[in-house]
Structure 1
Amino acid sequence: MNTGELVELGQQLRVDSVRAAAAAGSGHPTSSMSAADLMAVLLAHHLRYDFARPAHPGNDRFVLSKGHASPLLYAAYKAAGAIDDEELLTFRKLGSRLEGHPTPQRLPWVETATGSLGQGLPVGVGIALAGKRLDRTGYRVWVLCGDSELAEGSVWEAAEAAGFENLDNLVAIVDVNRLGQRGPTRHGHDLDAYARRFQAFGWHTVEVDGHDVDAVDRAYGEALSTRGQPTAILARTLKGKGVGGVEDREGLHGKPLPDADEAIAELGGPRDLRVRVHEPPAARVLHAVESRSAELPRWDKGEKAATRDAYGKALAALGTARDDVVALDGEVGDSTRAEFFAKEHPDRYVECYIAEQQMVATAVGIAARGWVPYASTFAAFLTRAYDFVRMAAVSGSGINLVGSHAGVAIGQDGPSQMGLEDLAMMRAVHGSTVLYPCDANQTARLVAAMADLDGIRYLRTSRGGSEVIYGPDEEFPIGGSKVLRSSAQDRMTLVAAGVTVPEALAAADALGREGIPVRVIDLYSVKPVDRATLRQAAEETGCLLTVEDHREEGGLGDAVLDAFGDGRPVPRLVRLAVRTMPGSASPEEQLRAAGIDAESITAAGRLLAEEAVVA
C-alpha cells in the first residue's frame, strides 16, 4: 500500500472500532483510535501471517498487550478478511467470539489472553525466546503496549529478560497516547523517559510520530534490521485521534463515543478496504514429540528421599523421553532441584532469575508454541506471580508449576520462606490440578503424569527427606487417593497429604495401640479430590480428621469438604492446620508447634474417640 492507502486503512480501523463499541454500548474506542495507524502499517507491510493457518510455524506472532483496545484488533481481523462486518458488530455480545478482551479460547489468532495490564510483553518475551532457542525459526513477535501499563514492574522484568537474551526477534510497539483511565500517565508524551528505561535494559529504541504512517513504516523496518537487541518503538499518539470532540481529552476512557454517527462521518465514513497480509516464509514443522517411555527414577521402600529431589530427577528423565519438555526456574534450581534437568538438557532449560512473574509468563509463551514447560521456585514466591497464573488459566494455557519448600516443615528459615497459602491459591484457579506427593516414587509418577494434563498443573514438593512408603511401580491416578490403613472397626479417618502422611501413619499406630483403630488416607490429589473414597470413609467411620502443613483456609480441609458439596449430610470434620505465625525452629519443632505432628494428631484422635463414646 502507498502512503494514501495506509492513511485510509488507519481511518477504516478507527471507524470500525467506533462502530463496534457503539454496537456493544461499551468498549474502548479511543484507546483503539490512537494505535490505528500503528496497526495499519504493521498489518499491510510487515506482519507475515496466514490467517487460514494460525498454527503455521513461520507465522509472526502478535500480542495485544493493551487488551482493552480489542476493537482495533477485531477491525484489523476484518481488514484481513478473517472475520466479516456482521461478526464485527457482535462485539461484546453474548456468544460472540469478539470478547471485551481477546482470548485464545475464542479466537485462533490470539496468542494469549490480555486485559490485566503488564502481561503482554512478558508473554511476548516467552514466545520470542521459544522462537530463538527452541523452535529456531525466523518468526517475529510484535507486542502492542499501552503507555499506562509501563508503570507495571512486570514490564521491566520482561525488558531485562529480553535484553539479556538478545531477543532481536521481539518488537515492542508502545502507543504513547498520554492518557490513562483517570487522567494523564506518569510521563505523558515524554518519549525520552521511556527510551532511557528501555535502553538501560539493552534495547534499541526508535521514537516516532505514531500518526505519520511513513515514519512508522521506517521505524518497523529499522526494528527488523536491528541485530542482537530487541527493539522498542515509542510512538507519540493522541487518544481518540481523528475526532475533534474526543481527541486527546480526559474522561472518555472505556466509553463509546458520545455521537458515533457524527464521529464516523468526521472520520470519512465506513470503508471496506481489504489487506493482503504477507505470507509467512516456509518453516519446518514444530518439534516432534518423542514417544519413548520415561525411565523414571526408582526408590526402594524404606529409603529416605526428599520429594524435591524426586522432582528434579523425574523431570530430567522426562526430558530424556520427551523432547517437548522445557524447564524454567527462578534462580533457585539448586533448591528446587531443577538443576538436574539443566545438567542433562541445557538447551531446554531457561534460567529466569529472581523474576517469578516473568518466569510464569515465559512458561505461558513457551506453551503457546506447543512446548510443555515446568516452572519451579519456592511455593511462597509463586504468590507474587499469581495474576499471571490466573491469566494463564484465562488463556487456556497448559503449564506445570512446581512449588518447593512448602509449609512449616522447611524449618529454620522462618515464615517468609514457607509456602502456607499455595494450595488455596492454586485450587482457586479455574480448571487447575493440584498435587501434593508424600514420597519419592509418588512424586516421580505425578511429575510424569502432569505432562499430559490440561490447564494449570501445580505440584507441591518438600525440602526435607521422608521415608519412601510406596513401591516404584505403584500407580497414582489424578483424582485418586491411597488408603494406607483400613479396617471394618475404624472409628475415624485421618486425611493427610505430603509431610503429614508419615505423621498420620505414626498417629494411627499409636491410636491403634490404645484400642482406637483409625483409617488413613493419603489425599495426594488435592484437586480434583477423590470424592468416592472420602464419602465411603465418612459413611464407615463417621468422622474425618484432616491434617495439613498449610493454612486452615483453602487447603486440604476445604478440599475434603468439597466431596460433600452435593447436598448430602456433611460428616463430623475436624481440621488440624497451621494457625499460628511460625518462627525459626527445626522441622520437628515446627510441626509440633503447629499442632500437626504425630503426637498432636494422636491427641486429637484420642479426644474425638472419647467424645464419640460420651455422645
Structure 2
Amino acid sequence: MEDDHVTETTSPLPTATAPGAGDTGTFREIENRVLWLSTAIIDHANRVRPNPSGMKVGGHQASSASIVTIMTDLWLRHLRPEDRVSVKPHASPVLHALNALTGTLDPAYLPRLRELGGLQSYPSRSKDPDPVDYSTGSVGIGATAPLWGAISRRYVAGLSQGEAGGTGLGRQYSLVGDAELDEGAVWEAVLDPQVPNLGEVVWIVDLNRQSLDRVAPRITSSRFEAMFAAAGWQVITVKWGRRIETLFSRPGGQPLRERMETMPNAEYQRMLRREPAEVRAHLPGDGPSSDAIRSALEGLTDEDIADAFRDLGGHSPEALDAAFAQIDDTRPTVIIAYTVKGHRLSSEGHPQNHASLMTADQMADLATALNASLDDPWALPTPDSAAGRWCAAVGERLQRAPVTLSEVGPVPEDFGRTPKGTSTTQAALGRVLLDLTRSAPDVAARVVSVSPDVSSSTNLAGWVNKVGVWTGAETSARNWFADDPETMLHWDESGSGQHVELGIAEVNLVSLLGELGSTWSRWGEPLLPIGVLYDPFVHRALEPWTYGIYAGGQSILVGTPSGVTLASEGGAHQSITTPSVGMEQPGLVTYEPAFAIDTEWALLASLSRLGRPEGTSAYLRLSTRSVDQTLAAVPEDPAARRRRRDHVVAGAYRLRRAETPAVTIAAMGAMVPNALEAAEALKAQGIEADVVCVTSPGLLFQAHLARHGTQVSEYAAPWILDQVFPADRAVPLVTVLDGHPHTLAFLAGINHVPARHLGVTEFGQSGSMDDVHRLHHLDSDSIVRSALDLIS
C-alpha cells in the first residue's frame, strides 16, 4: 500500500554513524547476544532458579524474540540521550539485556527476573534497577505514554523559554505489540486534537499477527495504516527483508509478492511450522499464478526458500534503518514492522507460544545456534572485541546528565481570609487557584490544569481567563470571540498558557496528568498538575491514573460534582464508591472537604507535596451543594485557626463539641450540614452530640494503622485520632457520607464503640436534593433515628 501517508521501505542501509555500525556481522553478533540473554533471563527464572512454591514464574520468550532486531537496531544506531522509549510490557527482558550489554545494568541482575528486589515483570521506572523511561504493563497505557510525555516535555521547555517543538527535545518512541492496538485507549489518544502537532513521536508496531490465544484471523495492517493516516500520522510500513525482496525482483517475483501479501495470517503462521521442502511445495499455492511463482523459486534450495519466506522487515536491520531515515519529524510517525512471534526460537510461529517456555534441550540447541553457553549464560562480549567496543560506545553515547531538581517556592498554607455567605467546594477550587496567582506567583506559574471539556462547568473559567490555554502548536490560535462582551470564558491559546484542554476522554486526561507529574524526575522541572473531571468518571480513568501514580507521576485529581447530592442528574452521574477508591489507592492522599476554607487548606497542602522524591498525589472530591460558610465556625484566634488548619490537613476536626456527649456524628463533605442539623434536633430532645468533620478518611485510617505499628504513609498523623476521637469521649458513633458507608465504618474501631453507618449503597435517582437525601437515608431525620437507636 502506498500513498501520501503510507510508504514501504526499500531504500539501502543509511550511512553508518557508530563504531562498527556498517559491520553486519558485528551487528548480528550483538543481536544474537540480545536474543540469547532475553531468552535465558526467562528460562533461568522458570527452570533453573529454585522455586519451592512450584508456581509458574512466567515471562514471554516469544514476545521478546519478535522485537529483538527492532530494539537492537534502535539502540545501536538511532537512539540519542535526549530520546525516550516506552517498551512493550512483554519485551522487558530485551530491555534488560540491552542495558546489560551497554553497561547500565549490573549483569548480576540478569538471573533475578521477577524475584523480590530483582528485575520487574514489566518495565518499571520506579522499581527496576536499570534505566527505564516509561513504566508499561497495563495494555495500551504504556503505548500512549510517550504522547503525553512529549506534551509534558514541550510544556517544560516553554516554562524555561526553551525550544518548544521539533527534534531538539528528543524523540519519544513507543514500541507496541500489534495486539495492543485492540485497546480503545490507544485510539482515544491517537485522535486527541493535541497529538497531530507532536512530530517527535514515533511508534513502532511489532506486527507479529498473534495475540495471547491465537493467530489474528485477518490481515489488519492496511486497516491500521488507514486509521493512523486518517489521524494525520506519517505511516511507514516495513514488510520485507533483503532476501525476500531479491526473490520479488526475479521473473515470477511479482506474483510471489502478491501471493505473500494476500496470504491469510493463519496460513502464513502454519507455513512457519513446516519443513523447508513443505514450504517449497505449498508456497506457489493453487491459483493461476502458481507456475510463475514456481519459476521464481527455481535454482534455490529448500532451505533458501524457507529462510526467505520468514525474512520479514522487522527482522531486517537494513529495512529498519531505511524506515528511520524516512521519518520527517513534522507529524507523529508510526512504523509498522512485520515480524514473527518467537523468531528463531523453537516456538516460532506457534499459535500458543505467547507464554510458552523452552525446554532444557531446546535451550541447549539455541545456545549452539547463537554461540552462547548454558554453563556461562550471562557472558557479555569481551571489551576488546568489535561487539564489546560497539556496545561500550552506545553506552557512552546514551549517557544522560544527572537531573538537577529545581526548587518550587514555598506553597502558602493559608491565604488568611475566612469565606462568608454561601458557596460550594467546587467554586472554591477556582478561587484558590486565582488567590495563588496573587499570593505566590512563582508557585502558581508551575500549576498546569487539565480538563476534558468541562472547564466552565467545574468553575475553572476564572483561572482559565487569567492564565490562558496552552497549545503545543507552532503558532497561537486567534480568539475570534475576544471582542464579544457576552463571552464569559476567554479561550486565549498560546505556548505560555497554563490550562490544557483535551477531548472528552478521561483516560487521556489522567495519562497526561501522570506525565506532567513526572517532569521533576525526568528533567528536573517540577510541575504542579491539577486534573478536573466529573467525579463519577473517576472509575473510567482509574486504571491509567493508578498506573501513572505507580510510575512516579505526582498530581492532583479533582472529582466534581460528586455523589447523590448532584440530585437531578440521576444515577448515571451520582458517584457512590469514589471515596473508597481514593482511600484505598496507594501513593495518594484523598480529601473531601465540607467548606471552602477546608478546600483551600487541603488543596494548598496537596500542592506542597508534589514534584519531589518523597512527594505524593492527591484526590479531592468536591460538591456543588451550596453551604452556609459560617457553619465552618473558623476560629478568629490565629493560634486556634492554625490548629484547625492542621486538623483539616491531617484528616478531621471537631466541629461541634458537646458538654457531655451521648453520641458522636462523624460526617464528611456535603453531609456536614445534615449532621449539624441532626445535632440540633437531638439537642432539642435533651441529647448532646459531638460532630466531627472528616476531611480525609484515608489519612485517618492510616493513622489508625500507624497507632498499631503499621506505617503506611509519612503523612499519617496518629495524634489526630486523640484529638478528634479521644478515648475519654468515646460514645456510640453515627457516620454519614455521600458515598458507600464502608468508607467510614472503620472509625468505630478506634475506640470500639457501637455504630451505625449511613451512606449510599444503591444507584441513585433524579429528584431534588432533599428528596434524594431522604431516599438514601442521608437526611438529618435519618441521622437522628440512627443516633436514638444507638443510645436507646
* Residue 53 (structure 1) aligns with: none
1:187 deviation in Å?
A: 4.7
Say yes or no: does 1:466 pair with 2:496: no
Q: Aligned pair in 2 of structure 1 residues 221, 337: CA closer, same or farther (>3 Å)?
A: farther
Per-residue CA distance 1:198-255 (angstroms, 9 max, x = gap): 11221111111111101111212322x331x111111100111123x21111222123
Which of 145, 166, 172 aligns to 1:141? It is 172
Tell whether the 8 Å contact from 2:419 to 2:597 is kept in structure 1 after alignment: no
* Residue 433 (structure 2) aligns with: 315
Q: How does 1:504-583 map to 2 (within 5 A)?
A: 504-529=675-700, 531=704, 532-533=721-722, 536-537=725-726, 540-553=729-742, 555-558=743-746, 560=747, 564=750, 570-583=752-765
* Residue 173 (structure 1) aligns with: 204
Once the two structures are overlaid, the 10-residue window that deviates more, 419-428 or 203-212, is: 419-428
Per-residue CA distance 1:518-545 (angstroms, 9 max, x = gap): 1110010121116424883565242110
1:410 deviation in Å?
A: 1.1
Report the 3-state secondary structure (helix = DSSP H, G, I; strand = E; otherwise coil) of the residue aligned with 1:542: coil
Per-residue CA distance 1:462-508 (angstroms, 9 max, x = gap): 01221222549551453331101123410110000111111111111
1:404 maps to amino acid: T
Report the 3-state secondary structure (helix = DSSP H, G, I; strand = E; otherwise coil) of the residue aligned with 1:496: strand
* Residue 227 (structure 2) aligns with: 197
Q: How does 1:96-115 map to 2 (within 5 A)?
A: 96=118, 98-107=119-128, 109-115=131-137
Tell whether the 8 Å contact from 2:413 to 2:605 is kept in structure 1 after alignment: no
Q: How far, CA to CA, are the matches of 1:357 and 1:598 in structure 2?
A: 38
Q: How far, CA to CA, are the matches of 1:456 and 1:293 in structure 2?
A: 15
1:509 deviation in Å?
A: 1.4
Q: Aligned pair in 2 of structure 1 residues 23, 130: CA closer, same or farther (>3 Å)?
A: same
Q: How far, CA to CA, are the matches of 2:105 and 2:405 in structure 1?
A: 30
Q: Aligned pair in 2 of structure 1 residues 535, 186: CA closer, same or farther (>3 Å)?
A: farther
Q: Aligned pair in 2 of structure 1 residues 29, 574: CA closer, same or farther (>3 Å)?
A: same
Tell whether the 8 Å contact from 1:315 to 1:448 is kept in structure 2 after alignment: no
Per-residue CA distance 1:268-323 (angstroms, 9 max, x = gap): 43652442237479999889444165497676454211111111222344464413
Q: How does 1:380-529 map to 2 (within 5 A)?
A: 380-453=536-609, 454-468=615-629, 469-471=632-634, 474-477=644-647, 478-529=649-700
Tell whether the 8 Å contact from 2:92 to 2:123 is kept in structure 1 after alignment: yes
Q: How far, CA to CA, are the matches of 1:248 and 1:335 in structure 2?
A: 53
Q: How far, CA to CA, are the matches of 1:489 and 1:33 in structure 2?
A: 72
Q: How far, CA to CA, are the matches of 1:187 and 1:143 in structure 2?
A: 24
* Residue 95 (structure 2) aligns with: 73
Once the two structures are overlaid, the 10-residue window that deviates more, 466-475 or 149-158, is: 466-475
Q: How far, CA to CA, are the matches of 1:286 and 1:342 in structure 2?
A: 31
2:347 maps to amino acid: V
Q: How does 1:339-350 map to 2 (within 5 A)?
A: 339-346=461-468, 347-350=497-500
Tell whether the 8 Å contact from 2:652 to 2:724 is kept in structure 1 after alignment: no
Which TM-score applies when normalising by structure 1?
A: 0.90
Tell whether the 8 Å contact from 2:113 to 2:121 is kept in structure 1 after alignment: yes
1:3 deviation in Å?
A: 5.1
1:82 maps to amino acid: T
Q: How far, CA to CA, are the matches of 1:181 and 1:234 in structure 2?
A: 20
* Residue 29 (structure 2) aligns with: 8
2:547 maps to amino acid: M
Q: How far, CA to CA, are the matches of 1:429 and 1:290 in structure 2?
A: 26
Say yes or no: does 1:330 pair with 2:457: no
Say yes or no: does 1:353 pair with 2:511: no
2:682 maps to amino acid: L
Identity level (%): 26
1:101 deviation in Å?
A: 1.1
Say yes or no: does 1:34 pair with 2:66: yes
Tell whether the 8 Å contact from 2:122 to 2:136 is kept in structure 1 after alignment: yes
Q: Aligned pair in 2 of structure 1 residues 186, 490: CA closer, same or farther (>3 Å)?
A: farther
Greater strand proportion: 1
Q: Aligned pair in 2 of structure 1 residues 282, 252: CA closer, same or farther (>3 Å)?
A: closer
Report the 3-state secondary structure (helix = DSSP H, G, I; strand = E; otherwise coil) of the residue aligned with 1:495: strand
Tell whether the 8 Å contact from 2:535 to 2:559 is kept in structure 1 after alignment: yes
2:409 maps to amino acid: S
Say yes or no: does 1:127 pair with 2:146: no
Q: Which has the larger radius of gyration?
A: 2
The alignment of Structure 1 onto Structure 2 pairs a total of residues equal to: 588
Q: How far, CA to CA, are the matches of 1:285 and 1:387 in structure 2?
A: 29
Tell whether the 8 Å contact from 2:410 to 2:608 is kept in structure 1 after alignment: no
Q: Aligned pair in 2 of structure 1 residues 312, 260: CA closer, same or farther (>3 Å)?
A: farther
Once the two structures are overlaid, the 10-residue window that deviates more, 424-433 or 282-291, is: 282-291
Tell whether the 8 Å contact from 2:589 to 2:617 is kept in structure 1 after alignment: yes
* Residue 106 (structure 2) aligns with: 84
* Residue 344 (structure 2) aligns with: 242
Q: Aligned pair in 2 of structure 1 residues 397, 251: CA closer, same or farther (>3 Å)?
A: same
1:156 deviation in Å?
A: 0.7
Report the 3-state secondary structure (helix = DSSP H, G, I; strand = E; otherwise coil) of the residue aligned with 2:608: coil
Report the 3-state secondary structure (helix = DSSP H, G, I; strand = E; otherwise coil) of the residue aligned with 1:384: coil
Tell whether the 8 Å contact from 1:104 to 1:112 is kept in structure 2 after alignment: yes
Say yes or no: does 1:589 pair with 2:692: no
* Residue 217 (structure 1) aligns with: 321
* Residue 55 (structure 1) aligns with: none
Tell whether the 8 Å contact from 2:196 to 2:332 is kept in structure 1 after alignment: no
* Residue 48 (structure 1) aligns with: 80
Q: How far, CA to CA, are the matches of 1:295 and 1:539 in structure 2?
A: 32
* Residue 186 (structure 2) aligns with: 155
Per-residue CA distance 1:319-365 (angstroms, 9 max, x = gap): 64413322111211112223333222232221122111111111111
Once the two structures are overlaid, the 10-residue window that deviates more, 573-582 or 305-314, is: 573-582
1:169 deviation in Å?
A: 1.1
Tell whether the 8 Å contact from 2:755 to 2:790 is kept in structure 1 after alignment: no
* Residue 232 (structure 1) aligns with: 334
Tell whether the 8 Å contact from 2:68 to 2:94 is kept in structure 1 after alignment: yes
Tell whether the 8 Å contact from 1:411 to 1:590 is kept in structure 2 after alignment: yes
1:355 maps to amino acid: A
Q: How does 1:251-262 map to 2 (within 5 A)?
A: 251-258=352-359, 259-262=362-365
Q: Aligned pair in 2 of structure 1 residues 289, 185: CA closer, same or farther (>3 Å)?
A: farther
* Residue 63 (structure 1) aligns with: 86
Once the two structures are overlaid, the 10-residue window that deviates more, 130-139 or 175-184, is: 130-139
Query: Cα RMSD over matched residues?
Result: 2.5
Tell whether the 8 Å contact from 2:418 to 2:634 is kept in structure 1 after alignment: yes
Report the 3-state secondary structure (helix = DSSP H, G, I; strand = E; otherwise coil) of the residue aligned with 1:89: helix
Q: How far, CA to CA, are the matches of 1:207 and 1:318 in structure 2?
A: 50
1:106 deviation in Å?
A: 2.0
1:186 deviation in Å?
A: 5.7
Tell whether the 8 Å contact from 1:327 to 1:341 is kept in structure 2 after alignment: no
Q: How far, CA to CA, are the matches of 1:186 and 1:324 in structure 2?
A: 49
Which TM-score applies when normalising by structure 2?
A: 0.70
Q: Aligned pair in 2 of structure 1 residues 419, 581: CA closer, same or farther (>3 Å)?
A: closer
Once the two structures are overlaid, the 10-residue window that deviates more, 286-295 or 438-447, is: 286-295
